[in-house]
Every structure is written in structure tokens, then in C-alpha cells.
Amino acid sequence: MWGAVASAVAGPDAQVRSIIADPAGDPHSYESTPADAAAITNANLVVANGGGYDTFVDKVTSTDDSAKAKTVEAFDLRPDKADDNEHVWFDPTTVKAVATQVADRLSASEPTQAAGLHQRAQAFEAQVDRIAAQTAAIGQSKPGTKVFSTEPIAHYLLRTAGVTDATPQDFVEAIENETDPSAASLVQVGNALSARQVSALVFNPQTETPVVTGLRDRAAGAGVPVVDVTETLPAGVTDYLQWVEAERAALAKAVGAPAQG
């Protein structure tokens, strides 16, 4: 996602390499290579997620002051420092802050490109605001909407939408720690899905396990819509705005909100 954000601002003359880009892989399980470390060291600008999500970047920047100086960490730019959810690519304010940083950092090294960089950043940020407003309209049109999530990657998307993630906390913690949820929380979630007590199930297809796949099947069997939310851009998609708009539209459709805010 951050590669796509950087590309939107940097423009067609910049070479942007996304280290984690496999739409079928689990980013949490990514094993970095010496070539990745070299790419970070040699880049003019590094955009990282931070927050413990891409620790292989930290391994390079912790021993290389020049690499650290040219790294933008999205997690550090989030407005709510008390919120420890690391999936900040769904937070509009953080995404805009990253876009601004990309424009500012590249302008410092390429002053002749500054005007174009800042124009692209401003246009990009305006589109982020537009999508955020349409996302907020979901909760405004369907107040009190609740969903379950197999993993809290849509935390900021749901918060912007005004939709409550009602997933039991012990279930969330178990999935985050890659352990099995308790039998009690599984029963609670499964029964709630069967009784259609939530409007949708937000599902991460990149971290499928028998437990979460079973919940997806339970939701489908009960007629509860399943919204796929991924951690990398889907195959064939290179535009961040296009991807976020598609996720917003899928969530709106699932909970019965108007297609456009």
C-alpha cells in the first residue's frame, strides 16, 4: 500500500519498489532477504509502515543512520498516539501525512520537481478526503451497525465508517498472537453469526486458518455478508485510491448502506 501511495505522489519518473507485494502471502510471515536490505540502504527514500509491522526495516535503520534519516514511518504519523493498531494504511489522516512527507522529502533532494510533487500530493490528499467522507456516510446512514472481524486490519476503516467491531477481545488477541481462540469465544462468535446479530464479517483472506475459514463458512451459511479486506493490493491493482474505494464500496454494500455517501 505504501508503495502505491509513494507512486501517486512521486510520479511516473520515480522508481518505486514495494518489498512486500504478494497478494497471496501473509505479510506477517514475510522473510526479508539481503537484497531487501540493500534496496533500503540504496533508496533515496524509504516508506515503512512501522509499529512493529515491518521489523525488517528497523533491522537496517537501527544500524544505518543514513537509512534511518531517509525513512518515513507511517505509524509515527498517526494522529491518535494512544491507538496501537498498526494497520494505519486505512487511516485517512495518516495516509495524507505520508503523502505530504513523500512530497517534502523528495522535493528537498529534487528541488526542480517540487511543484509537481506537491501538486500530486494535494490532489491525492483531496481524493483521500473524498473517500473518507463517503466512508463516514456508511455509519451515518446505518447507525449502530456492528460487524465481526477475523483480524483487526480494518480497524481504521471501520472507525472512519462509524461501524462497531464487536469481535470479542480474547478472540482478537488470540488471532493476533497466532494462537487458537478459546472455545467460549468461538461459540460466542459462531452463534452470533448464525443468529445474524452482526451485519457482516470482515475477513482477511491472506491469513486463512481452519478457525477463521470456519467462521467465514458459518457467516456465508447464515446469509451474513463477508467483506474481504487484504493487507496488500490485490493482483492487478496498483492504485491505492482505487483499492480503498473498492473496500469502502464493499463494506457499504455488505451493511446495506447507500453505494455513495
261 pLDDT band, cuts 50/70/90, is low
Q: Are residues 71 and 9 in the same domain?
A: yes
**pTM, whole model, 2 decimals?**
0.94
Q: How far apart are CA 176 and CA 110, in angstroms?
A: 41
H/E element, 174? helix 169-176
| Average pLDDT of the residues of the chain | 93
111 and 184 fall within a common domain: no
Binned at pLDDT 50, 70 and 90, residue 207 comes out as: confident
What CATH number is associated with residue 214? 3.40.50.1980
Q: Please indicate, yes or no, if residue 45 is contained in any of the structural domains.
A: yes
Tell whether 80 and 152 lie within a shared domain.
no
Residue 206 neighbours by CB under 8 Å, 6+ apart: 23, 24, 25, 26, 27, 230, 231, 232
Per cent of the chain over pLDDT 90 is 79
Is the per-residue pLDDT at 46 higher than 90? Answer: yes
What total of structural domains would you count in the chain? 2
R_g of the chain computed on alpha carbons: 19
Evaluate if residue 73 carries a pLDDT over 90: yes
Stretch among 92-106, 129-143, 167-181, 235-249 having the lowest mean pLDDT: 167-181
Measured distance CA(236)–CA(24) in Å, rounded: 12
* pLDDT of the residue at 48: 96
**Does a structural domain hold residue 125?**
yes
Instruction: Answer yes or no: do 68 and 148 share one domain.
Output: no
Do residues 240 and 161 both lie within one domain?
yes
Pair (127, 164) in one structural domain: no
Q: Among 103, 135, 167, give the residue marking a domain's end.
A: 135
Q: Which residue has the cell 526495516?
A: 57
Domain edge (last residue) among 105, 135, 165: 135
- Asked if the structure places residue 261 within a domain, the reply is no
Model confidence at 181, pLDDT cuts 50, 70, 90, reads: confident
Distances (CA, A) of 115 to 45, 70, 84: 18, 21, 35
Considering the domain boundaries, does residue 260 fall inside one? no
- Shared domain for 152 and 235, answered yes or no, is yes
Question: Do 72 and 185 have their domain in common?
Answer: no
Residue 84 and residue 201 in one domain = no
The residue segments making up the domain with residue 115 are 2-135
Task: Convert the pLDDT of each residue in 215-260 to its tens digit.
Answer: 999 999 999 999 999 999 988 889 999 999 999 999 999 999 998 7
Average pLDDT, stretch 3-20?
95
Core vs surface per residue 5-25: b (16+ CB within 10 A) or e: bbbbbbeeebebebbbeeeee
Which of 135, 165, 193 lies at the terminal end of a domain, its last residue? 135
Residues 96 and 182 both lie in one domain: no
